[in-house]
Structure 1
Amino acid sequence: MNTSMKSNPPVQHKVIKNLIEAHSWLGLIISPLLFLVFWAGAVTLFHDEVAQWAITPHHPVDNTQVDIPLATLVEQKLAEYPVDYNGRFRINMPTELVPYYIFYLDVIGAQSPSDSHSMAILVDPKSGDTVAGKDDFYLSQFIYHLHYNLDLPGGSYLIGMVALIFLFALVSGIFIHARKLLKHFFLYRVDKQRRDKLLDLHTVVGVMTIPFTLMYALSGLILNLAIVFQLAFVVFIYQGDRQALFNDAGFNRTTELRSETPLDMDNAFNLIEQTQQKPNFELRNIIFHHYGAENALVQVRGTDTASFAQRDEVTYRVQDGSVINKVNADNYNVFRQGRDVLVSLHFSNFAGVDIRILYFILAMAISAMIVAGNMLWLDKRRVQRQSSPRSIAIVTGMTIGGCGGIIVATAVGFLCERLLPATLYGRSEWLVGCFVASLLAVMLCSLKVNDIKRHISKLLLLTSSILIITIVADWLLFPEQILALWQNGYHGVIGVQIGMGLMVAVCIFTAVKLTTTNQTARLENAITVN
């Protein structure tokens, strides 16, 4: 009995040691992508504000004019473009932040009817003009794509795997610090060595953000690897009926062929207006199936403002106004409700801007935690004689260059979004190219760095300079438009400028702090040597 009791501590110590090794190596492997996910996710929290900042100075909406009736607007756009009526098209409604209709259309190619492709356009609700293609101002969408699929084919599965590994890192971190979790909850040793400060920063941020990070890891895992869960549901719950699963999940599509008999669509817009007048209903988008045909359907979708993460959706047959399908709080669906709750929690669209600011701060703190974890690994490897200088250089370049490069590249993206001409052909490709080029440039410059703190300071000051130039360019190019937008209630442009200004202040403060610390350390070393 005594022997077993004596052998337990070494076994426990070995388990913790193995967890630390797994936590360190797995965290190191996924750190660049994980940093990108949280950094891009933090910016994506203000997706619509960034979109307003990018678009409205070029194409301001005059609120003194009356909205064109939706029926008139739809007929006008369908006459302008060679729409493929065999499918469906969707219209996103204007919002307080993005004051344009967004039309998603399938159009027939000029060469042959079979050569059809999708397009999305922004339409001014006051004038009816097509102001731009949806992807002409691509920054907000690009950062959002980086967050969930790296803007690459199959990237969502890669991010899903990163979320899975991140979940393991969280659980292993909890086990590693379990005994000291409460005792050292707020411990940050400012008067100790650099390694102690980094360890405390990594641990304190990790502990304080556990509920937030667990929510993000689980929701991101489920949303990005949904195909895995779909396969399990199809096999075990839906008895192989994949379409039934999609119907419950809200991805059901009509399989009817388009009727050759024409139909006047006035009743469709009457049905939309009736649905829009319902209490606690906020209209989000409309989907038309077989527009102008006898078997036309209109799907009206919105949110129930009186409930949490509740989506209301009703599909009408236009000819007689009969309800084909309906989803609301009374028609409860566990599968769809669960997905909507996850989406609401993940994107914090269930409350006001204060919650999004809190999410933003937490996401930035986790980004700092990721960098601190990598720096701990580097400090540990540098004191080990068997460590390869090449491997240390690669990890340094990956950490400082990758993470720092993402910050610089984001600032470059904002500058390009403001300075690139709105009519430039392939504008979105130019923006993505500038982002990637600046990221690669910083990574290459970070491969051989002797003074890490000095290098980080330079990157932060470079980011600050780019953001300052962006703010100045705003006021030089669009001073009257920005002021007019503010007076008309569109505060997103100046709000984004304030956000950039705060980021400039943080970057400059951090750069000065790092420089001061570095100079103090050098002075102490010189005194010690003498």
Structure 2
Amino acid sequence: MNTSMKSDSPVQHKVIKNLIEAHSWLGLIISPLLFLVFWAGAVTLFHDEITQWAITPHHPVDNSQADIPLATLVEQKLAEYPLDYNGRFRINMPTQLVPYYIFYFDIVGDAPQSAPQSMAILVDPKNGQTVAGKDDFYLSQFIYRLHYNLDLPGGSYLIGMVTLIFLFALVSGIFIHARKLLKQFFLYRVDKQRRDKLLDLHTVAGVMTLPFTLMYALSGLILNLAIVFQLAFVVFIYQGDRQALFNDAGFNRISEPRSEKSLDMSNAFTLIEQTKQQSNFELRNIIFHHYGADNALVQVRGTDTANFAQRDEVTYRVQDSSVMNKVNVDNYNVFRQGRDVLVTLHFSNFAGVDIRILYFILAMAISAMIVAGNMLWINKRRAQRQSSPRSIAIVTAMTIGGCGGIIVATAVGFLCERLLPATLPGRSEWLVGCFVASLVAVILYSIKVNDTKRHISQLLLLTSGILVVTIAADWLMFSEQIMALWQTGYHGVIGVQIGMMLVTAVCLWTACQLGGYRHSLSSMPENSTPTSGQ
């Protein structure tokens, strides 16, 4: 048996060597986009808190007033905007974090033959005023879109491919470190050379976050490349019936044309209230089809708070209150349930803020793992005499500069969200432009960098300074509003500020550690060389 093991060892060694090469190169290629996915995903975990931080100081909600009845509010908005009644419109309910109604609808264009234009507005539930367009305060939505499609057409497919490669990198990493996975699980050699430390950081972060990263890789792959799985399901399971697949997945389409006869819609709001009063039902949004016609439908959607990853939905015909379709815990299919479980796990919608904080820490650990892996590759190539300095500079700019630039650009985005005037035309475009300009500037600056640790330290210090300025601007501009919001139960503004302070502290600590380690290396005697033994 020992003889067979020895005969297999050269083959095993070759396989491991090939896996290391594939793991290194593929990881390097996808590292900027993968870093962006995890960094933006970590920030997106607090999407609603960031939305509250951005909007409520400008447009605080007076909780001492009663809510305007939804029926009155809908009729008021329909009188203000030229709704395209041939389509549908949706209303998202106010929440504890985002205290506004969000209306999504299509409006008729000025020209007779022009196509309807999509519109989304935030409406104060207390006074019925339209406080802003949904994308006027774009930061939280922009970071969310960066996470899943880079805010680009077709970006979701690119992110899906990155996720697929990331899944291979995870599996290959498990094979590479299989023998030492348990023995060196917590090993971090603080008294060894720089490469050992980086390797330990990369390995330990990868092992500690492995269940989390596998869940994210699999769920992200399915969600981003859903079109591939849809085609397979349509062909092999649904026998080419694409609409049946959509119905089972919960994407029901209303195909009947709008009736010419009008109908009083008061019964629709009665049905909404009746559904809302059901036990364990938390109303999320409402969708109207053919509003004001005698074939009008209303879909009431919510969350079943007593069951995991269970979304309830009922569709009524307004005219006679008949139920056209209903989905709940007693009436669901495996396809939809599986999709809802994936979405719930991916976005940590199943528990409180403590789970989201844990997700955030794990996502930051993966981000650190990505940067450590890049630095390992760069240090290895610099040690090889045949490596081109120009190619190393380009790789450093695209990987270290790209990852560091994303951190700096995010901080710039928060600063712009606070400082840009709320009424500035094209406010969202200004914010995106500042984000992209900051990212490109850091990448270009990184081309001439030789000391990657010093460079990362500088970027972290710059990020800390921008976040401190953002917090100071918060209190200089909206101190009274922030205190009033806190007293009325809106804690998201100060919560985001605490988050920015914690990130600032971590950045400063990391920058000091990098600076201190660089100083210890420079103070070593010339004839002393760090060893990798023991």
Coarse TM-score class (shorter-chain normalised): over 0.9
Which residues in structure 2 correspond to 1:434-473 (within 5 Å)?
Answer: 434-473=434-473
For 2:362, the equivalent position in structure 1 comes to 362
**Superposition deviation, residue 385 in structure 1:** 1.8
**Secondary structure, counterpart of 1:287 in structure 2:** strand
For 1:502, the equivalent position in structure 2 comes to 502
For the residues of structure 2 that align with 1:246 and 1:25, how far apart are their CA atoms? 39
For the residues of structure 2 that align with 1:478 and 1:16, how far apart are their CA atoms? 58
Which residues in structure 2 correspond to 1:8-407 (within 5 Å)?
Answer: 8-112=8-112, 114-407=114-407
- Percent of pairs with identical residues: 84
**Superposition deviation, residue 114 in structure 1:** 3.5
Deviations along 1:392-432, one digit per CA (max 9) or x if unpaired, are 11111112210000000000000000000000000000000
**Superposition deviation, residue 450 in structure 1:** 2.1
**Secondary structure, counterpart of 2:425 in structure 1:** coil
Asked if structure 1 preserves the Cα contact closer than 8 Å seen for 2:38 and 2:366, the reply is yes
**Superposition deviation, residue 488 in structure 1:** 0.5
Change (3 A) 1:94 1:445: same
For the residues of structure 1 that align with 2:28 and 2:412, how far apart are their CA atoms? 26
For the residues of structure 1 that align with 2:266 and 2:335, how far apart are their CA atoms? 35
For the residues of structure 2 that align with 1:490 and 1:514, how far apart are their CA atoms? 38
**Superposition deviation, residue 6 in structure 1:** 3.8
Asked if structure 1 preserves the Cα contact closer than 8 Å seen for 2:374 and 2:400, the reply is no
**Superposition deviation, residue 380 in structure 1:** 1.3
For the residues of structure 1 that align with 2:158 and 2:442, how far apart are their CA atoms? 24
For 1:490, the equivalent position in structure 2 comes to 490
For the residues of structure 1 that align with 2:401 and 2:6, how far apart are their CA atoms? 47
The amino acid of 1:179's aligned partner reads R
* Runs of 4+ displaced beyond 3 Å: 1-6, 525-529
Change (3 A) 1:391 1:525: farther
Asked if structure 1 preserves the Cα contact closer than 8 Å seen for 2:375 and 2:452, the reply is no
Deviations along 1:499-524, one digit per CA (max 9) or x if unpaired, are 00001111111111111111121111
For the residues of structure 2 that align with 1:163 and 1:484, how far apart are their CA atoms? 43
The amino acid of 1:359's aligned partner reads Y
Q: Which runs of 5+ in 2 are unaligned?
A: 530-534
Deviations along 1:330-374, one digit per CA (max 9) or x if unpaired, are 002111110000000000010000000000000000000000001
**Secondary structure, counterpart of 2:494 in structure 1:** helix
**Secondary structure, counterpart of 1:447 in structure 2:** helix
**Superposition deviation, residue 206 in structure 1:** 0.5
For the residues of structure 2 that align with 1:361 and 1:3, how far apart are their CA atoms? 46
The amino acid of 2:195's aligned partner reads R
RMSD of aligned Cα (Å): 1.2
**Superposition deviation, residue 3 in structure 1:** 7.1
**Secondary structure, counterpart of 2:135 in structure 1:** helix
Deviations along 1:472-519, one digit per CA (max 9) or x if unpaired, are 000000011000000010000000000000011111111111111111
Deviations along 1:193-220, one digit per CA (max 9) or x if unpaired, are 0000000000011011110000000000
**Superposition deviation, residue 115 in structure 1:** 2.7
The amino acid of 1:245's aligned partner reads L
The amino acid of 1:459's aligned partner reads L
**Superposition deviation, residue 270 in structure 1:** 0.2
For the residues of structure 2 that align with 1:266 and 1:372, how far apart are their CA atoms? 61
For the residues of structure 2 that align with 1:17 and 1:452, how far apart are their CA atoms? 26
Change (3 A) 1:343 1:2: closer
Greater alpha carbon shift after TM alignment, 297-306 vs 448-457: 448-457
The amino acid of 1:217's aligned partner reads A
For the residues of structure 2 that align with 1:322 and 1:76, how far apart are their CA atoms? 27
For the residues of structure 2 that align with 1:185 and 1:295, how far apart are their CA atoms? 63
Greater alpha carbon shift after TM alignment, 219-228 vs 249-258: 249-258
**Superposition deviation, residue 7 in structure 1:** 2.4
User: Could you tell me the TM-score, scaled by structure 2's length?
Assistant: 0.98
Greater alpha carbon shift after TM alignment, 459-468 vs 111-120: 111-120
Deviations along 1:68-103, one digit per CA (max 9) or x if unpaired, are 000000000000000000010000000000000000
**Secondary structure, counterpart of 2:260 in structure 1:** coil
**Secondary structure, counterpart of 1:446 in structure 2:** helix
For the residues of structure 2 that align with 1:291 and 1:283, how far apart are their CA atoms? 20
**Secondary structure, counterpart of 1:131 in structure 2:** strand
Change (3 A) 1:49 1:2: closer
For the residues of structure 1 that align with 2:122 and 2:4, how far apart are their CA atoms? 72
Greater alpha carbon shift after TM alignment, 133-142 vs 377-386: 377-386
The amino acid of 2:109's aligned partner reads G
For the residues of structure 1 that align with 2:2 and 2:344, how far apart are their CA atoms? 54
Greater alpha carbon shift after TM alignment, 131-140 vs 329-338: 329-338
For the residues of structure 2 that align with 1:11 and 1:486, how far apart are their CA atoms? 64
The amino acid of 2:429's aligned partner reads E
For the residues of structure 2 that align with 1:489 and 1:498, how far apart are their CA atoms? 16
User: Could you tell me the TM-score, scaled by structure 1's length?
Assistant: 0.98
The amino acid of 1:313's aligned partner reads E
**Secondary structure, counterpart of 1:182 in structure 2:** coil
**Secondary structure, counterpart of 2:447 in structure 1:** coil
The amino acid of 1:388's aligned partner reads S
**Superposition deviation, residue 303 in structure 1:** 0.4
Asked if structure 1 preserves the Cα contact closer than 8 Å seen for 2:408 and 2:439, the reply is yes
For the residues of structure 1 that align with 2:421 and 2:404, how far apart are their CA atoms? 28
**Superposition deviation, residue 112 in structure 1:** 2.0
For the residues of structure 2 that align with 1:511 and 1:39, how far apart are their CA atoms? 18
For the residues of structure 2 that align with 1:520 and 1:2, how far apart are their CA atoms? 46
**Secondary structure, counterpart of 2:216 in structure 1:** helix
**Superposition deviation, residue 378 in structure 1:** 1.1
For the residues of structure 2 that align with 1:468 and 1:493, how far apart are their CA atoms? 15
For the residues of structure 2 that align with 1:112 and 1:349, how far apart are their CA atoms? 44
For the residues of structure 1 that align with 2:376 and 2:193, how far apart are their CA atoms? 12
For the residues of structure 1 that align with 2:215 and 2:5, how far apart are their CA atoms? 38
Change (3 A) 1:211 1:125: same
Deviations along 1:116-160, one digit per CA (max 9) or x if unpaired, are 110000000000000000000000000000000000000000000
Q: Which runs of 5+ in 1 are unaligned?
A: none
The amino acid of 1:257's aligned partner reads P
What is the count of residue pairs matched by the alignment?
Answer: 529
**Secondary structure, counterpart of 1:478 in structure 2:** helix
Change (3 A) 1:497 1:3: closer
For the residues of structure 2 that align with 1:104 and 1:476, how far apart are their CA atoms? 34
